[in-house]
Amino acid sequence: MNVQALGSGQRLAYRWLVRPFLSKVEREFFEGIPGIPGQLYRAERRALYEAILARAPAYAFEIGTFNGGGSTYFSARAFARLGRGRLITLEIDPLLQARAVELYDSRLPALRQHVEFLLGGDPALFQPYLQTAGAAEFVFLDGAEHAEQSLAQFRFFEPWFRTGSILVMHDWETEKMRLVRQALTQSPNWRARQILGEPDSIGFALYEHL
């Protein structure tokens, strides 16, 4: 759950009955950026953030920026905490992409240097960054609810995965990841490191390339 998923009554209850008892860190993961829609539940945001801190990649590649208030924000914060590295995030919707760029330009200048926003629906747009890095060290898939599309995105990155590469997927249990789920669970090259489910998550999986 996160604050954006609450109805107005629940928000009031959260404000007065829950918030005072949460640590500052837990509030931040639950609340995200005030007034900005963002997906991922609190536990998922934290897992993504901690995975980037642990792997400390030069680049993380994300499909599905949305408004920039969910996974993008917590990934950028992880890179800011590391003091180096960048999230390269791809969004197919031009309005959402422009809104996210404007948000980081105007309200989040300290994070802006840790995020590159790409507009489009083709992961081939990541190619220049992959060539610079020589590998896909960290990939987060959270695009359309479309099994074939997610599988094609996974296959795009496949030649760039190396031992220790991290692949994180949201909506792990739904149609979005049905074919990627099959591919990963049948592959000897990948090991599940973290799987989150209800009530903490609507489906979050973190795999490591062996």
Ligand X SMILES: C[S@@+](CC[C@H](N)C(=O)[O-])C[C@H]1O[C@@H](n2cnc3c(N)ncnc32)[C@H](O)[C@@H]1O
H helices within 126-177, ranges in order? 127-133, 147-157
Supply the minimum distance, in Å, between the C-beta of residue 17 and ligand X.
26
> Which of 85, 134, 92, 139 is closest to 117 using CA atoms?
92
Q: Does 71 bind ligand X (CB under 6 A)?
A: yes
The stretch among 75-83, 90-98, 104-112, 159-167 that binds ligand X (CB under 6 A) is 90-98
Footprint on residues 4-43 left by ligand X (CB under 6 A): 38-40
Q: Residue 136 and residue 126: Cα distance in Å, rounded?
A: 10
Q: Does 137 bind ligand X (CB under 6 A)?
A: no
Q: Residue 185 and residue 164: Cα distance in Å, rounded?
A: 17
Residue 45 vs 55, nearer CB to ligand X: 45
With CB under 6 A, what is the number of residues at the site for ligand X?
Answer: 19
Q: Does 85 bind ligand X (CB under 6 A)?
A: no
The stretch among 16-24, 61-69, 106-114, 191-199 that binds ligand X (CB under 6 A) is 61-69
What's phi and psi for 127, nearest 5 deg?
-50, -50
H helices within 16-93, ranges in order? 24-31, 42-55, 71-82
Q: Is 37 helix (H, G, I), strand (E, B) or coil?
A: coil
> Which of 96, 32, 37 is closest to 64 using CA atoms?
96
Supply the minimum distance, in Å, between the C-beta of residue 16 and ligand X.
27
Q: Which of 14, 58, 121, 190 binds ligand X (CB under 6 A)?
A: 121
Q: Does 208 bind ligand X (CB under 6 A)?
A: no
Q: Which of 57, 70, 85, 203 binds ligand X (CB under 6 A)?
A: 70
Q: Does 203 bind ligand X (CB under 6 A)?
A: no
